[in-house]
Structure 1
């Protein structure tokens, strides 16, 4: 019997993926709003629509590598078979929250 990989078990499960996306975005949004929003509002010349578009683009550009890094760091943190069993014993939404919170303490 072939074991599926970490990424196929988590990326192909919609509940895990959406929960990880929501949690990671929530964790990344605070620094973006606290630091990036004043820079966009007071540092750029342009209409409000241009500023909003720029902020959304910057958010997406920063979020995608952040989410990928959350998955990679969490995968590397599961070193033993026992760690994997504990992780997979969680329900899918909890697994997504664990993955999305992986880098939250690094700020």
Structure 2
């Protein structure tokens, strides 16, 4: 199933997010077009990222502080989001169990 292109984006992925990502892409270009995946756990065979990856690069954040870490592979960023969501889901399930 593809993502809706007409669905409104949440505020956290609005204009400010796009501008921050653009700034990081510009910094990557200025660094010769090559950088390092900023996600804490990189799932790729190499941490190397390039400008040519374009939309396959995501803006990575620290979950605890909300601070931007930099650009990373989309797969690494989405994997981190899935781990976070699963941990939250498991936490909610644990508080809901009734062993009575």
Fold equivalence (TM over 0.5): no
More helix as a share of residues: 1
More strand as a share of residues: 2
Q: Which has the higher contact order (CA 8 A, sep 6+)?
A: 1
TM-score by length of 1: 0.28
